[in-house]
Amino acid sequence: MLLPWEYGIRNLTRRPFRSGLTLAALSIVVLLIIVVVGFIRGLEVSLADSGDPDVVLIYSVTSGENIESSAIAARTPGLLTSSVAGTVNRFGVTFASPEIYLGTRIGNENGAVGLGLIRAVTETSPLVRRYVRLIEGKWPVRGEVIVGKLAAAKLGSDPGQLEIGKKLTFEGQDWTISGRFVAEGTAFESEIWCILADFQAATMRQDISLVALLLPPQGSSSELTLFCKERTDLELQAVRETDYYAALQQYYRPVRLLAWMVVLLVSGAGLFAGMNMMYGSVAGRIREIATLQTVGYRRRAILMSLVQEGVVLAAASSLLSGCIALTLLNGHAVRFTMGAFALRIDSFALTIGCGAGLFLGALGALPPAIKALRESVAASLKAI
């Protein structure tokens, strides 16, 4: 026969301070796990979503996997679209976006300076960058920029400094913010966009970093790849945008592994915290446990009751942590080298966090419970 469910619950409330401390400790552990998994998910999803499967990037073969260091001739878009068929063309407009992509120091009106990402674009860019949506203000003209939703996080600046009408300073020139955009959680959201010709004049550059071409759905990039291989003098490479971001995911693999290690270490700490609490709880109830055995409860039933206490406490911690993570931390911007991304407290992060919490609650209660039940009933009844 099992002990009544209320018995375990009542035991938790008999020592409210101890239970409260354990609840707090377990909640912190579960919250940490959720945050770290949310970090991993945010990084992964940001990079995975950033690639449009229909977009092919043409950039310098010598820049490896780093578009920032790419420099190709400004005539490349024209050469590509006139030599290779397959790029989407509607009403005489070819969906090709010549761009400069650059990391540079950006100052705001307060004088604070941070490292930001500039993408100099043309009016065809929104046709190719289909995720980008202007949510406030207008498309920039000369001397103006539009800023992504996470640009402030990337710059490490107050979001109020990136409101419409505010000024930013980079490349020796003042730029007025004319609009704000979102990009469905992709890496573009941490960027600042300006007009290509304007930026070329400011930086005294005549080249561009890349050309992004939109192919029809299921269109092949083979001809573009062949063109790049044939025109060895141009030193170009054609890479599907999804492949580019997949390569970046590989680049950040050690970071993700490290984050999973943190999850394991934090879980280990939580396990010890839970065990410590249950050892204390069981040590003070040796006579009670022996009495339960004397009145006829089997050891397995008592063990189940002790595990129940641990699991109930862990479940409460998981719920509390899940609520805190969802309401206070979900979507919080995190800065990293490639830009910024939002912490993603999704079902996966919650499942891992709450699952780990419940596991810790059950596992942490087992060793002290087993230890208490090994003692002989007679000796335990005499225990002080």
Residues that bind other proteins (CB under 8 A): 61, 220-223, 225-226, 229-233, 237
Question: Residue 338 is encoded by which pair of tokens?
Answer: 């490639």
Q: How far is the CB of 64 from other proteins (least distance, A)?
A: 9
Q: How far is the CB of 226 from other proteins (least distance, A)?
A: 5
For other proteins, give the closer residue by CB, 222 or 294. Answer: 222
d(CA 185, CA 341): 7
For other proteins, give the closer residue by CB, 162 or 236. Answer: 236
Q: How distant, in Å, are the alpha carbons of 29, 33, 266, 321 from that of 318?
A: 9, 10, 14, 5
For other proteins, give the closer residue by CB, 220 or 294. Answer: 220
Nearest to 107 by CA among 115, 117, 119, 99: 115
d(CA 124, CA 130): 11
Report how far apart the first and last C-alpha atoms of the chain are (Å, whole number): 28
For other proteins, give the closer residue by CB, 225 or 318. Answer: 225
Nearest to 214 by CA among 51, 74, 47, 60: 51
What phi, psi does 259 have (nearest 5°)?
-65, -40
For other proteins, give the closer residue by CB, 7 or 251. Answer: 251
Q: How far is the CB of 207 from other proteins (least distance, A)?
A: 17
Q: How far is the CB of 206 from other proteins (least distance, A)?
A: 19
Q: How far is the CB of 244 from other proteins (least distance, A)?
A: 13
For other proteins, give the closer residue by CB, 10 or 229. Answer: 229
For other proteins, give the closer residue by CB, 44 or 223. Answer: 223
Q: Which residues of 293-316 are buried (b: 16+ CB within 10 A; e: fewer)?
A: beeebebeebbebbbbbbbbbbeb
Q: How far is the CB of 335 from other proteins (least distance, A)?
A: 31
Q: How far is the CB of 90 from other proteins (least distance, A)?
A: 24
d(CA 3, CA 298): 9
Q: How distant, in Å, are the alpha carbons of 26, 57, 93, 296 from that of 124?
A: 52, 15, 8, 81
For other proteins, give the closer residue by CB, 151 or 215. Answer: 215
The DSSP 8-state label assigned to residue 208 in this structure reads B
Rg (CA), the chain: 29
d(CA 306, CA 319): 20
- Largest interatomic CA distance in the chain: 95
Q: How far is the CB of 228 from other proteins (least distance, A)?
A: 9
